[in-house]
């Protein structure tokens, strides 16, 4: 039987969340950032951070899992199976753009991303459910004549992720205002993948 009260559990969850959010944000900007810098960004003491994550490797691994979960949730929250394909794609882009610093962190840790992602994304059939949702949306759009059928659905999906990543990077570097990222990604994506009139 647990002796942790609901209030204590809530506080622990909020502290853990603050540390993970800070870790992904700080490490997205600087991969060599110290645990002290992450603790400061999370507004917790170094000893508190160590109680949750005894070493850097454990923190980075937990941050990767958390980032993949958040990105996955953003894709599912976009409800890509609902409404016209073009509108669903705009919802999807809007939702995942909000995960910008998590994508910069996750994709910047390529080896860990591959290791954790291989486990995280394998469903019962060994398939990536998040990828399947996006591909189904694109294929639906291609069937409806909204998305270009001259390129594969997989290619369009890869281009979408690359544009979202580029937008997050531009916002971080200050070359694009964060509120403008979604519009830039959608404009570029639609200009590149919308079906062409013959």
112 and 155 inside one domain: yes
Please tell me the distance from the alpha carbon of residue 103 to that of residue 109, in angstroms, as a whole number. Answer: 10
- pTM score, whole prediction: 0.81
* Number of domains comprising the chain: 2
Asked if 39 and 46 count as a contact pair (C-beta separation under 8 A), the reply is: yes
Sequential pLDDT tens for the chain (198 residues) = 445 555 556 778 899 999 999 999 999 999 899 999 999 999 999 999 999 999 999 999 999 999 988 998 999 999 999 999 999 999 999 999 999 999 899 888 878 877 777 666 554 444 568 888 999 999 999 999 999 999 999 999 999 999 999 999 999 899 999 899 999 999 999 887 666 565
77 and 39 inside one domain: no
Range of the domain at 30: 1-54
Please tell me the distance from the alpha carbon of residue 144 to that of residue 13, in angstroms, as a whole number. Answer: 44
CATH code for the domain in which residue 72 is found: 1.10.357.10
Label residues 110-125 b or e (16+ Cβ within 10 Å = b): eebbeebeeebbeeee
Report helix, strand or coil for 125. coil
* Contacts for 48 with CB less than 8 Å, ≥ 6 apart: 15, 39
112 and 156 inside one domain: yes
């Amino acid at each position: 039987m647990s002796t942790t009260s609901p209030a204590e559990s809530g506080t622990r969850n909020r502290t853990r969340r603050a540390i993970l959010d800070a870790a992904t944000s700080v490490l997205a900007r600087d991969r060599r950032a110290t645990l002290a810098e992450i603790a400061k960004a999370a507004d917790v003491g170094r000893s508190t951070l160590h109680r949750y994550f005894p070493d850097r490797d454990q923190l980075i691994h937990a941050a990767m899992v958390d980032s993949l979960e958040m990105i996955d949730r953003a894709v599912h929250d976009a409800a890509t199976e609902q409404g016209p394909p073009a509108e669903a794609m705009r919802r999807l882009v809007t939702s995942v753009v909000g995960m910008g610093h998590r994508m910069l962190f996750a994709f910047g840790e390529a080896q860990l991303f591959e290791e954790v992602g291989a486990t995280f994304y394998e469903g019962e059939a060994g398939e990536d459910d998040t990828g399947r949702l996006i591909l189904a949306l694109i294929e639906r759009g291609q069937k409806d004549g909204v998305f270009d059928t001259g390129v594969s659905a997989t290619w369009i999906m890869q281009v979408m992720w690359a544009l979202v990543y580029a937008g997050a990077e531009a916002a971080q570097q200050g070359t694009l205002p964060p509120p403008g990222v979604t519009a830039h990604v959608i404009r570029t994506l639609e200009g590149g993948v919308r079906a062409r009139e013959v």
